Amino acid sequence: MNYKNLLSPQKVFNAIRLESRALQKIVQHGYPDISLHFLGGLGDEIMLTCIARELRKRDAGKKIWQISSAAELIKNNPDYTLVLDHTFWDLRHSNILKKTRTKLGYSYPLPGDDVWEVPTEHILLNSLRKTGIKGPVELRPYVYLANEEVEKYRFNQFQICFQSVGEYTHGTWMRNKIWSHQNLCKVVDRIKEGIPAIKTIQLGVPQDPTLPCDIDLRGKTGLRQTAAAIAASKLFIGTQGFLPHLARAVDTRSVVIFGGREHAWQSGYVANINLESFPSCSPCWAMSRCGNDRMCMSQISVNDVCNAVFRAIEEVEKPLLVQTEFI
């Protein structure tokens, strides 16, 4: 606590209010053993469910809290004692809860313009290690949905979901993760032509560029509804980001266009078909900086993606692989 703040009546009031809110939750749910925090995007929030699962495997009585921007997706997760949404964001700064907080991260800014630390192991393995977990671990997230939630978004016996991320369409977009929208349109057309019985669905935010899909759900679903649409589908196709993490959490296979900004061994899942390229500058982990005209993305062709999708379709009934590591 910064005791200089005690000279400001408003700051004293805010501090009392903050700690009172923390105490109220402690009285209701008990003092947590650990409170998970990740200052990242929605995909990072979902990945924390892997940490909670591995902690609970080792101690079924461990009290785990998470204050999350993806709280609705963590709803019904049996590994948590309490999940709070963004309206409780200030509890991340509670002194009462300070000793329980575990702040996790895997890539940090370095000196220079858009220069970032490059992870040397899978980012989930990195977070599990920082939490103090020992022994075998499974690298995958978890989201729990009710059957009725999923069935509401089952439009066809065989449906697949796409996302085409555009520039400036959401707060955490990265230019180095974007694949050609025109190319993705060609992929959708070829899939529909090759297998007419498939129903194609576009997910994303309203600002994402339009794909020639049968059903357009951009901006029409919340987080749980998006998860349900993916869970009801046989396959998800898109670039690396939140939705591939969400697809793995609901046990749906994906074809993920990685390029070279990051590699699958760092942030992907072995259950998926991960399309990567390996120029000498990769993996750079830069968000938008690139001196090579993003060759890592342009090296992945429409044929590469279509072939991967058709191969994934042949494998949809097979169990999803899970990467197991030992810490």
Could you read off the pLDDT tens digit of each residue along the chain, which spans 327 residues? 555 555 677 888 888 899 999 999 999 999 999 999 887 789 999 999 999 999 999 999 999 999 999 999 998 999 999 999 989 989 989 999 999 998 888 999 999 999 999 999 999 999 999 999 999 999 999 999 999 999 999 999 999 999 999 888 887 889 999 999 999 999 999 999 999 999 999 999 999 999 999 999 999 999 999 999 999 999 999 999 999 999 999 999 999 999 999 999 999 999 999 999 999 999 999 999 999 999 999 999 999 999 999 999 999 999 999 999 999
Q: 147-326 adopts what CATH topology?
A: Rossmann fold (3.40.50)
pTM of the model: 0.94
Asked if residue 70 lies in contact with residue 141, where contact means CB atoms within 8 angstroms, the answer is no
> What's phi and psi for 86, nearest 5 deg?
-65, -15
Phi-psi label, residue 12: left if phi above 0, alpha if psi -120 to 50, beta otherwise: alpha
Give just the sign of the alpha carbon dihedral 24, 29, 31, 32. negative
Q: Name the nearest CA neighbour of 203 among 176, 239, 253.
A: 239
Asked if residue 286 lies in contact with residue 267, where contact means CB atoms within 8 angstroms, the answer is no
Q: Tell me where in the chain the CATH 3.40.50.2000 domain(s) lie.
A: 147-326
Q: Name the nearest CA neighbour of 277 among 292, 293, 298.
A: 298
